[in-house]
Chains A and B, each alone.
Chain A
Amino acid sequence: MSNDAVSPEEVRHVAELARVDLADGEVDQFTRQFADILEYFETLDEVPEVDRDADLANVMRPDEARDSLDSDEALRNAAETEDGYFKGPNVS
């Protein structure tokens, strides 16, 4: 195991950033699995620096108004709506 193997605190921190609650058992399990997986990812250090000359072109369309999904359809999968808007939880 590499010396900067991930700690349970780091797993909790990343889970908080990603907005995923974890049970204590999951934290332990993920800490063990992440140590193996991240150690494997470390081999990317052997990859040489590569000249990346991506041959890309922007794709544009005319900026014209057109029909879109109507609001009833857009709202129909929402758990809560109010006056034609999505209704989410309190911000703080």
Chain B
Amino acid sequence: MAENIFITEETIEGADDGPLAGRTVAIKDNISTADVRTTCGSAMLEEYVPPYDATVVSRLKEAGATIVGKANMDEFGMGSTTETSAFGSTDNPAAPGRVPGGSSGGSAAAVAAGEADLALGSDTGGSIRCPAAFCGVVGIKPTYGLVSRYGLVAYANSLEQIGPFADSVEDAAALLDVIAGPDERDATTREPEPNGERTSYAEAATGDVDGLSIGVPTELLEGADDGVLETFWDALEGLEDCGAAYHEVSLPSVEHAVEAYYVIAMSEASSNLARFDGVRYGNSGGYDGNWNEVFSAARREGFGDEVKRRILLGTYALSAGYHDKYYKKAQDARAWVKQDFDRVLDEVDVLASPTMPVPPFELGESLDDPLQMYLADANTVPVNLADLPAISVPAGETDGLPVGLQFVGPAFGERRLIEAASALD
């Protein structure tokens, strides 16, 4: 396959029947699959074979889905292009020569190329929505706590959620129906409705937006590419023709979201990735010396540049003398972002913005300047800081390149997002 979508191609059959019988699913390679290697796109885990399934994988199998492979990704989810993978970059099936976005680039590309009907990715700061936008498919980042993270190899556990990709909003919602809901193995999961009532997400894909009130945060339009903005406004006018109303709103806190996000994500990464020392699993390198020397050598060999950068910056941000300056301030910013979203979502039903401020980058264009890459996440990271649900849905094209529109809703308000997004299907 020319696009380099999968790290491992392997068929795992599910139950004979169920809501996903006959459907094929690609799984991001940071989601554990029993007896099938799970690399996280890293040389560190090139030969790691999990002894157990992630909860979402068990649920897929029970629902009758057929898993077709482990999809390529930025190393440990750290990137927005899938180019930091130790297994090579993935080409964008919807825009050849361009990146598929990241970090769940292989998952989005699998759906866009027709290599799988559906896919699972994970979203820590936009890693489902960015590749969905760049590949012209639908991607959902669920509310924090809706989907179990048991078996997801942790990068920044206070921010990340597993979520679905599909060609249509209804199919993505049907996959969410299968994976959502409490899991005793992840204490951060809960019932989406206080009364424990379960409602179908797929049934919410009615395309009915009559009376829907949409807020457009002006801060998320700043600096966006002209062609992306044009496509975005055209899509909103289309929704207006169907009975929705939109107006601009302000979220001043999001001006600090990117730096808050990166401080928190890197800090959590520096702690979470401390487990990779080559003793229990992962690359050991077979070095001699005391444990500090051996671990340092194994980690030099196993990790790529972006992973090292984030581990080191996270260690720095948490170190004595800097903790209050960076980490504590970032937590303040996170609380501010949450309150800001709560305030505007009291006034409107959903928020809308371009998912990504730019069309897909050319392959190799953006690897040299990490800070420029981080800034491209401006529209997606605030949602993770606020623990809210969001969906990216194709809005059209600019110069033949896909443009995604992001809807953000209140916590556990996935049904409303699915309703709104399905009007653009």
Tell me whether A48 and B336 are in contact (CB under 8 A). Answer: yes
Known: A45-B329, A69-B52. A50 touches B290 (CB 8 A): no
Q: Is B251 an interface residue when CB atoms closer than 8 A count as contact?
A: no
8 contacts between A and B (CB under 8 A): A14-B316, A17-B315, A33-B371, A44-B330, A77-B282, A78-B279, A87-B279, A89-B294
Tell me whether B331 and A41 are in contact (CB under 8 A). Answer: no
Interface string of B108-132 (1 = CB under 8 A from A): 0000000000000000000000000
Q: Nearest-CB distance from A78 to chain B (Å)?
A: 6
Tell me whether A76 and B51 are in contact (CB under 8 A). Answer: yes
Tell me whether B329 and A21 are in contact (CB under 8 A). Answer: no
Tell me whether A20 and B309 are in contact (CB under 8 A). Answer: no
Q: Which of A1-50 contact B (CB under 8 A)?
A: 6, 10-11, 14-23, 26, 30, 33-34, 36-38, 40-41, 43-50
Q: Identify whether the interface residues of B are mostly helix, strand, loop, or mixed.
A: helix
Interface string of B262-292 (1 = CB under 8 A from A): 1100000010001001111110101111111
Name which residue of chain A comes closest to B260, CB basis.
Answer: A44
Q: Is A65 an interface residue when CB atoms closer than 8 A count as contact?
A: no
Count, chain B residues at interface, CB 8 A: 60
Known: A18-B270, A76-B51, A77-B48. A92 touches B259 (CB 8 A): no
List the B side residues contacting A30 at CB < 8 Å. Answer: 308-309, 312
* Chain-A contact segment, one of B74-82, B94-102, B215-223, B296-304: B296-304
Tell me whether B49 and A77 are in contact (CB under 8 A). Answer: yes
**Cβ 8 A contact of A79, one of B279, B326, B374:** B279
Q: How far is the CA of A33 from the CA of B266 in the complex (A)?
A: 15
Name which residue of chain B comes closest to A59, CB basis.
Answer: B187
List the A side residues contacting B313 at CB < 8 Å. Answer: 34, 37-38
